[in-house]
């Protein structure tokens, strides 16, 4: 995977006149979102370094999970939920808006309308199928591990054109984003992904620290919650080759749940040989968060679009349920999957 030199040229052409750049990610930001945002900001700061000051801001709709806060620049990301006035004025004043790791502007929640109305030059850098056409420049690829990897190839090409040095903070962030989105080199890994990893490994980033922060820094409560989920909260449907995990509010309270504590839980049932589809339902404020994974031919992206008010990738998708009690979601999942596998399409 490489980014076409012409696209990188357009990207540089759009950036050069910029004075105020806003980089925007999606609701419930994950590692790829924060990695691509902070990595792009570190690179832009290097691109514009020493010249007339260019203000580069990073924004997401809501809270960043604690286990991502070790990344350089994560603590300066503006959260719309906590600071709507500041976020709005950054977006309204921006002359250039870069959206990353989203294919649907609605995933920026309340920021979507402001971005849509803005006269700023807009750039989308994303790896999901069917990107919404709202940007002046769309850099979109699905044959790539993550938005962070796509940003890496774009930044490499753009650095050659502009003679920019890629700072180590940029490399560490993009590496972290790629590593989290591939579930530590397990899913959506392409030959180019290893090439990126190898190029960045040579740059002297602290891979052991990143590995440790992401993979081996569970709290005791999070670890025990994981055990409980597998022991008591998992239902297996052998004939559907599916398994469901349900995380209710009472359990969350009991284990002092923090955002991000259930990260990766949805992958666990796929470790069972004959399970090909896994679902995690998490009770939250006003809706139930849905996470779906597939390790076979079933498109959870389509399943999610049809039954769970969401979407995503073929093998990793998410959505929301607004009107179902938590006790009924496993049944609803079973019925939906039966319809889906029976050929139902809306």
CA distance 28 to 32: 11
Q: Which residues on adjacent β-strands are paired with residue 290?
A: 281, 319
Residue showing the smallest CB distance to ligand 5GP in the complex:
318
Of 41 and 128, which CB lies nearer to ligand 5GP in the complex structure?
A: 128
Please tell me whether residue 203 adopts helix, strand or coil conformation.
coil
Closest separation in Å from C-beta 228 to Mn ion = 27
List the single partner that 128 binds among Mn ion, ligand 5GP, none, CB under 5 to 8 Å by kind.
ligand 5GP
List the single partner that 33 binds among ligand 5GP, Mn ion, none, CB under 5 to 8 Å by kind.
Mn ion
Of 302 and 320, which CB lies nearer to ligand 5GP in the complex structure?
A: 320
Contacts (CB under 6 A) with ligand 5GP, residues 281-340: 291, 310-313, 316-320
Of 167 and 260, which CB lies nearer to ligand 5GP in the complex structure?
A: 260
Of 11 and 265, which CB lies nearer to ligand 5GP in the complex structure?
A: 265
Closest separation in Å from C-beta 30 to Mn ion = 4
List the single partner that 222 binds among Mn ion, ligand 5GP, none, CB under 5 to 8 Å by kind.
none
Closest separation in Å from C-beta 79 to Mn ion = 16
Does the protein bind Mn ion through residue 30 (CB under 5 A)?
Answer: yes
Long-range contacts of 104-112 (CB under 8 A, 24+ apart): 104/132, 104/311, 105/132, 105/134, 107/26, 107/27, 108/24, 108/25, 108/26, 108/27, 108/61, 109/27, 109/61, 109/62, 109/80, 110/61, 110/80, 110/84, 111/24, 111/59, 111/61, 111/80, 111/87
Does the protein bind ligand 5GP through residue 31 (CB under 6 A)?
Answer: no
Give all strands of the β-sheet with 234-237 in edge-to-edge order. 234-237, 242-247, 277-283, 288-294, 316-321, 311-312
User: Which range of residues in 93-101, 127-135, 237-245, 298-306 is near Mn ion by CB under 5 A?
Assistant: 93-101
User: Which range of residues in 26-34, 48-56, 76-84, 275-283 is near Mn ion by CB under 5 A?
Assistant: 26-34
| Other Cβ atoms within 10 Å of 126 Cβ, number | 25
Q: Are strands 55-60 and 78-79 parallel, antiparallel or unpaired?
A: parallel
Of 106 and 201, which CB lies nearer to ligand 5GP in the complex structure?
A: 106
- Give Rg (Cα) of the chain: 20
List the single partner that 73 binds among Mn ion, ligand 5GP, none, CB under 5 to 8 Å by kind.
none
Q: Are strands 288-294 and 316-321 parallel, antiparallel or unpaired?
A: antiparallel
What are the counts of helices (DSSP H) followed by strands (DSSP E) for the chain? 12, 12
Closest separation in Å from C-beta 285 to ligand 5GP = 14
Residue that the structure tokens 């940003």 belong to: 151
Size, binding site for ligand 5GP by CB under 6 A: 13
List the single partner that 260 binds among ligand 5GP, Mn ion, none, CB under 5 to 8 Å by kind.
none
Residues near 277 by Cβ (< 8 Å), separated by ≥ 6? 240, 241, 242, 243, 292, 293, 294, 296, 298, 300, 303, 337
Q: Are strands 121-126 and 137-140 parallel, antiparallel or unpaired?
A: parallel
Contacts (CB under 6 A) with ligand 5GP, residues 78-137: 104, 128
Closest separation in Å from C-beta 103 to ligand 5GP = 7
Maximum Cα interatomic distance, the chain, rounded to a whole number of Å: 64
CA distance 150 to 152: 5
Of 46 and 103, which CB lies nearer to ligand 5GP in the complex structure?
A: 103
Binding mask 194-233 for Mn ion (x = CB under 5 A): ----------------------------------------
Residues found near ligand 5GP in the complex (CB under 6 A): 30, 104, 128, 291, 310-313, 316-320
Residues found near Mn ion in the complex (CB under 5 A): 30, 32-33, 101
């Amino acid at each position: 995977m490489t980014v076409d030199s012409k696209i990188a040229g357009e990207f540089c052409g759009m950036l050069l006149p910029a004075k105020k750049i806003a980089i925007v990610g999606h609701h419930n930001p994950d590692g790829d979102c924060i990695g691509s945002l902070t990595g792009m900001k570190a690179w832009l700061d290097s691109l514009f370094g020493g010249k007339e000051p260019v203000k580069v801001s990073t924004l997401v709709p809501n809270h960043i999970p604690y286990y991502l806060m070790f990344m350089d620049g994560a603590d300066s990301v503006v959260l719309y939920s906590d600071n709507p006035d500041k976020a709005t004025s950054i977006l309204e004043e921006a002359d250039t808006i870069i959206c990353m790791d989203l294919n649907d502007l609605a995933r920026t929640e309340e920021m979507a309308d402001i971005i849509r109305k803005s006269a700023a030059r807009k750039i989308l850098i994303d790896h999901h199928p069917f990107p919404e056409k709202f940007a002046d420049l769309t850099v979109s690829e699905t044959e790539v591990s993550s938005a962070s990897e796509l940003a890496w190839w774009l930044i490499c090409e753009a650095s050659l054109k502009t003679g920019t040095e890629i700072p180590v903070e940029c490399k560490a962030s993009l590496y972290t984003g790629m590593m989290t989105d591939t579930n530590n080199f397990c899913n959506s890994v392409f030959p180019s992904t290893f090439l990126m990893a190898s190029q960045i490994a040579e740059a002297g980033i602290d891979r052991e620290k990143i590995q440790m922060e992401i993979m081996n820094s569970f709290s005791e409560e999070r670890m025990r919650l994981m055990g409980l989920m597998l022991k008591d909260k998992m239902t297996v449907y052998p004939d559907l080759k599916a398994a469901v995990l349900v995380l209710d509010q009472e359990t969350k309270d009991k284990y002092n749940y923090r955002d991000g504590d259930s990260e990766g839980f949805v992958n666990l049932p796929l470790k069972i040989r004959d399970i090909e589809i896994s679902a995690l339902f998490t009770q939250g404020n006003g809706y139930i968060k849905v996470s779906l994974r597939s390790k076979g031919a079933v498109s959870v992206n389509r399943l999610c679009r049809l039954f769970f008010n969401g979407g995503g990738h073929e093998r990793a998708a998410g959505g929301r349920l607004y009107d179902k009690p938590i006790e009924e979601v496993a049944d609803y999942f079973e019925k939906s999957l039966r319809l889906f596998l029976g050929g139902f399409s809306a």
